[in-house]
Every structure is written in C-alpha cells, then in structure tokens.
A = this chain, B = another copy of it.
Amino acid sequence: MAQKKYLFTPGPTPVPPQVLAAMAEPVVHHRSPDFKPIYERCLTRLREVYRTQRDVLLYTASGTGAFESAVANLVSPGEPHLVVSAGNFGERWAAMTAAYGADVDHLRYAWGETPDADDVRARLRERPAKAVWVVHSETSTGVVADVQALAAAAKEAGALVAVDAVSSLGAVPCETDAWGLDVVVSGSQKALMTPPGLGLCAVSAAASAATGSSPRFYFDWERTQKAQAKLDAAFTPPVSLVAGLDVALGLLLEEGLEAAFDRHVRLGRAARAGAKAMGLELFSPDEDRSAVVTAVRPPEGIDSSEVVKGLRDRFGITIAGGQGELQGKIFRLGHIGWFDVFDITTMLAAVESVLAELGAEIERGVAVTAALEAYEHQRVA
C-alpha cells in the first residue's frame, strides 16, 4: 500500500475532499454567470466569517501579499507606525512597513512572549502612531494575542489597528466590527481550509479614509473595492480557488463559527494534554486562547528537526519545526481548520514513537488517552 500522508503543519493545512473536488471543476470565466453566484456567495460568507458589514477584499496573493495591501495603502514615507512583534510574522511586518518608509516604532518581544496592551498604551503615550500593527495568531510560536485588548489600547490613542489574522480567522474569535479592527488580513490556507493562493483583507471606513501616498496598483484597496461592489474583479481572480473557498466557507458556517472556535479550543487542550502527559515541555502558552498551533520543546539533547524528520520518514506525517531563532528548538503541531481529535491522537502517537526511537526518556502509552480526555471536556463556556 502507498503510504498514507498527513499534513499537520500550521499552514498550508489539510483541505476537505469537497473543497478539492471544487478545485477540479472546469474553469469558468470570471465575468460570466457561471462564476458570479459563486463569487457573490463567497463574498457574503467571508463577511460572516469576518463578522463585518464591510466588503472583504479578495486578492490573488499569499497572506503576505494581502498584508502588503495594508502597508501599501496605509503607510506614507516618514509617518510614525507602531509594530508589535513576538515572532517571525511580527518581524516580517516590521520589515515591510520599514520597506515602505514608515518611521517604525518596534515594540519587540522575545519570540514566544505574549504582547501586552499596557505596553502598547505606554508606547503610544510616548510616541503617537498612525496605526498599530499586531499579529493575532503568531504561527511561529503558537501564541494567540488578545487582539481585542491590543485594539482597544490603539483606539484609545486614536490610532488605527491592523491585524494579521492569517492563521486565526475561523479558528479563534476575531470580531472585526465589534472590536473596531480597521484592517484584518487573512489567507485561504489556514482555518479557511482551502489551498494557498487567496489573500483577504477587511478594511474599515476609517482605514479607507486614511490611505497614503505609497505607490500601488495591484494592491490598491479602492480599485478592488470598486470592482467588488459591482461583483467584478479588478484583475482575473483565481476562479478555482474562489470556488474552493466558497465550499470551505460553507462547511465552516454549517458547523457554526462558535462551534468551530470551541472545537479549536478543545483540539488545543488535547494537544497540550498529550504532550504534557509524555513529559514534554510546552513552548506555546498552556492556555485556551492559543488554540491553533501547539509548539513543544523536544527532550534535552534532541534537535527538533530530528523529530520532524522522523515523523516524515517513518509515518509520512508532516509537522513543522522552529523558524528563525527557534530552529531545532521546537516542533509545531498545527491543528487549524479541518482537524478532529483523531488527528491529534495520530500526531501524538507518532511523536511518541519517534521520540522513543530517538532514545528520549518519555512516558509511554499515556498521551493518546490524555488527549481524548482533554478533548471531551464539556463545551467551553
């Protein structure tokens, strides 16, 4: 038998067969009646998932591309901006805003720390900023920040707030309108259960009114806003990916957003309970909010790359190692999107086998049960 394969990385994530089937449908023209109903439904569903009344702009781009739309539209050279980082993606946004000539105040936490709203408040008191740039789920560390609190701190100081919700949207609560988030960027390839290729960006009226002087065309918000308002696209959209996303959003909304959030909380609990039961140390916080990626330190003396390689070679399972300064130091178990508890027990059982083979002293035979028990807790209040 050909080896079964498992994709347990925090993005791209596994895609449901119904979505893959939609990807294989014959290509249709984006201005034809074959596409318009799909497009309209997809845009409507996106508003529901984003919990916003505003249009969600759809870009043929990775999440980084959609994020660049925010930078290109909001940043003018020399303007003060506050970037909050605590991992790989936050640092990317600091580099990107700097590339656009922003006068960047970089509130930089060590990788794995959780940004604090009071720190943002203090920084903005010292130096006001046009916008505060924050990461909701820092995929490189597993930390999910309290974006509601961070946004409130920004608002108090009269700053706009732009949020990287690439790996959080659809997995943990992200209330675009209710929390007053001015820009929320996401992508198709995480909790939205679609292959990579679509970048998303919700833009508040205040953000739309605050666009700056940086050159832009492809990522110009207004151009895409105007086109989408007519159910058109400024440039040929990736029709197959849109059709896939439409199906995936249908699945997500059929489950219900609250149920999906609850499932992710319980998946996170299960992953953490299993890792701890084996005697492993967590790198990501042991808290319900950080429900999308569980980052784990390997036992003393074992390089996390060996764990990643072992899972792949022995079992056809792909997980992620550490990025940047965390290379070799953590492995990351993704559980964003199309995951149930048996994906968690599979990854834990495989990690246990591989660690044992690598000679690690771990507790055997308890992780799977611990995970199942943690998952079965009653619904999160």
- Establish whether residues B197 and A60, one from each chain, have CB atoms under 8 Å apart when the complex forms: yes
- For the complex, is A241 an interface residue (Cβ under 8 Å from B)? yes
A15: chain B residues at CB < 8 Å are 26-27
Q: Kindly provide the distance from the CB of A101 to the nearest chain B CB, expressed in whole angstroms.
A: 6
Q: Kindly provide the distance from the CB of A248 to the nearest chain B CB, expressed in whole angstroms.
A: 12
Q: Kindly provide the distance from the CB of A84 to the nearest chain B CB, expressed in whole angstroms.
A: 18
Given contacts A60-B65, A62-B236, A239-B195, contact A13 B27 (CB under 8 A): yes
- Establish whether residues A25 and B33, one from each chain, have CB atoms under 8 Å apart when the complex forms: no
As a 0/1 sequence over residues 183 to 215 of chain A, the CB contacts with chain B under 8 angstroms (1 = contact) are 000010100000111010000000000000011
Measured CA separation A25–B77 after assembly (Å): 44
Q: Nearest residue in B to A68 (C-beta to C-beta)? A: B218
The B-contacting residues of A in range 39-98, CB under 8 angstroms, are 60-65, 68, 71-72, 77, 95-96
- For the complex, is A379 an interface residue (Cβ under 8 Å from B)? no
Given contacts A195-B238, A196-B236, A236-B62, contact A216 B99 (CB under 8 A): yes
Q: Nearest residue in B to A240 (C-beta to C-beta)? A: B195
Given contacts A60-B60, A96-B217, contact A239 B14 (CB under 8 A): no
Measured CA separation A354–B196 after assembly (Å): 41
As a 0/1 sequence over residues 8 to 47 of chain A, the CB contacts with chain B under 8 angstroms (1 = contact) are 0101111100001101111111101110000000000000
Q: Nearest residue in B to A92 (C-beta to C-beta)? A: B217
The B-contacting residues of A in range 314-329, CB under 8 angstroms, are 318, 320
- For the complex, is A237 an interface residue (Cβ under 8 Å from B)? yes
* A61 touches which of B30, B61, B77, B100 (Cβ 8 Å): B61
A26: chain B residues at CB < 8 Å are 5, 7, 14-15, 20
Instruction: Name A's interface SS.
Output: loop
- For the complex, is A312 an interface residue (Cβ under 8 Å from B)? yes
A187: chain B residues at CB < 8 Å are 236
Q: Nearest residue in B to A23 (C-beta to C-beta)? A: B23
- For the complex, is A179 an interface residue (Cβ under 8 Å from B)? no
Measured CA separation A195–B14 after assembly (Å): 21
Measured CA separation A196–B238 after assembly (Å): 5
Measured CA separation A11–B30 after assembly (Å): 9
**Max chain B C-beta neighbours (<10 A), residue from A21, A63, A71, A216:** A216
The B-contacting residues of A in range 243-301, CB under 8 angstroms, are none
- For the complex, is A235 an interface residue (Cβ under 8 Å from B)? yes
- Establish whether residues B60 and A237, one from each chain, have CB atoms under 8 Å apart when the complex forms: no
Measured CA separation A101–B238 after assembly (Å): 29
The B-contacting residues of A in range 218-238, CB under 8 angstroms, are 218, 220, 234-238
Q: Kindly provide the distance from the CB of A119 to the nearest chain B CB, expressed in whole angstroms.
A: 26
5 contacts between A and B (CB under 8 A): A7-B27, A12-B28, A15-B26, A32-B312, A60-B197
Nearest 5 CB-CB pairs, A to B? A197-B238, A24-B24, A195-B240, A62-B235, A64-B235
Interface residues of A (CB under 8 A from B): 5, 7, 9, 11-15, 20-21, 23-30, 32-34, 60-65, 68, 71-72, 77, 95-96, 99-101, 187, 189, 195-197, 199, 214-218, 220, 234-241, 312, 318, 320
